Chains A and B, each alone.
Chain A
């Protein structure tokens, strides 16, 4: 009898929810995103809220990583799971809309203090879907044209000038098409903003109209000619590689990657950035919490910590050269001027405000990519 009651006690103990919880954070993006959570945010969170642990799961770089998280949610929703196995997810802008539409997400932003510090429009609308309240931007990133001042003393100020320059200097402009990473995609979107016959604002804000997609023929024809005259690079890193080896003189890159490579010595310090008119797209990565997350409370605490001005300053701006996710003024206070100004050496805040565009809304985005596949061969 005694043994039986011990066994029963053991079963009860095992079944009790353990107080020390494990928070699962799934993140899309390169290894640096996983490292950021494992080596920086995780330990800080574990110190702030003792007894809890953070487990980071990387789902892979680029859109593919976010797609995997979306599919994970799809599967758990289809299986009608009560508790999902992800507490916090970090996903690309493009995937937030579908997640909100499918009612996978928790509307948590008003529950946390740092929610009030968000100021940019891309936290309200994500490529045409209203996501207000469901997301907190982790950071904002931007694409721009990197160039080698030794070969290009006066960089082109606009897409028109850029196209002329590339024509005069065959194979000196390099980009990675649309299948090798988002910096190439972004360059193509900028091309359509500049030369597409329609209204770029409709592309960015909607609504989606089928006629609009017929206005790009001229732009794609010129892009096909332009591409014949350009060097195609293998991927986002490929463009920077070729630039650093002097094989190309100019190419579209992610601003944060550019600065990080420069800081590591992978790219000569002389290289510079320019944001040509009418502008190029950038995008935020968002923190989201699934509606059925097992540790909702803890998840909110985690995001509140990750979006606090101090962490945004130290982690996002100083460590990774990303533009902050929350309002810049709050972050600036936490940093010395030198670090802050480093972000804006080549691209001034005014340039960023005027020429930092969002990507087109999802249906236009897909239509442009498909039109590219059809015409640029």
Chain B
């Protein structure tokens, strides 16, 4: 067997998996989105926008907000790990921050459901500390719960990438800025973050796409109206057996996800040029 054939044979299993389990279903669902009772048409999209425009906007707003908060939190944690001067605090933070990464989304949903409820652990703690009166306690099991779940779960992932990039920076630039009297915050914002901007963007885009696909969190925290697109897709399939509109909704979220991927591609091309 020639080397070339051997090479092909070696990649064949991986290629087959991608073709049959990713590309083929993608094409089938894209085609299915335009199928209305075995004819082609826009019917599914008309229904999608008629019923779910609010949910589409809601999903984009929630996920964008979460992405921004994840960005801020991961810069803060990564920055402290890089610039922090208290070795014990740095060690503790380094040990702690990764934990949420190993907890599945559905467990996060379950934890927050009891934590954020009106009489949940968070409010009870505040009430016992005297920071809140029982009558003012309110439930966070709505859009805020979803944002909290996403930020809590995705921050470590982005931090891991960002902190890695920060650690591999040339420390001389940081030290030079410190010697010239720049505060730590200024060093972080003006020296460190610009140098890891690309890594940060990649991390945030991967998070954005991951959050687009999470079903368990909206189902457990807020499957009401408006809700996330994933909950609507599940509802179309499970309650109506309607794959047409579900496919159309899937295509809408694909467009949303690929628009951020496009930003990323453009940025990386610019960097190489």
Contact = CB atoms under 8 A, between A and B. Distances in A.
Chain A partners chain B? yes
B227 A67 contact: no
A67 B235 CA distance: 11
A246 to B, nearest CB: 6
A247 B219 CA distance: 20
A235 B227 contact: no
Contacts of A232: 142, 222, 224
B98 interface: no
Closest 3 CB pairs of A and B: A64-B238, A180-B223, A179-B223
A241 B113 CA distance: 10
Contacts of A178: 235, 239
Interface stretch (A14-22, A120-128, A191-199, A365-373): A365-373
Most A C-beta atoms less than 10 A away, residue of B219, B239, B241: B239
Contacts of B139: 231, 247
A369 B245 CA distance: 15
Given A63-B238, A235-B223, A373 B51 contact: yes
Interface of B: 50-51, 54, 113-114, 117-119, 139, 141-142, 219-227, 231-232, 234-235, 237-241
Contact of B239 (A234, A246, A369): A369
Given A64-B234, A64-B238, A242-B117, A177 B225 contact: yes
Contacts of A366: 239-240
Contact of A374 (B51, B114, B238): B51
Contacts of B238: 62-64, 67
Given A180-B223, A374-B51, A377-B225, A245 B241 contact: no
A247 B134 CA distance: 11
Nearest to B114: A241
Contacts of B227: 179
B25 to A, nearest CB: 14
A234 B220 contact: yes
Contacts of A242: 117-118
Contact of A370 (B51, B113, B117): B51
Contacts of B226: 377
Most A C-beta atoms less than 10 A away, residue of B114, B117, B225: B225
Interface string A169-183: 000000011111000
Nearest to A65: B238
B234 to A, nearest CB: 7
Given A234-B219, A369-B240, 19 more contacts: A64-B237, A70-B241, A177-B223, A177-B224, A177-B225, A178-B235, A179-B223, A179-B225, A179-B231, A180-B219, A232-B222, A238-B113, A241-B114, A246-B119, A247-B119, A370-B240, A374-B50, A376-B225, A377-B225
Contacts of A238: 113
Contact of B223 (A63, A70, A234, A241): A234
Nearest to B238: A64
Nearest to B120: A245
Contacts of B221: 234
Interface in A64-108: 64, 67, 70
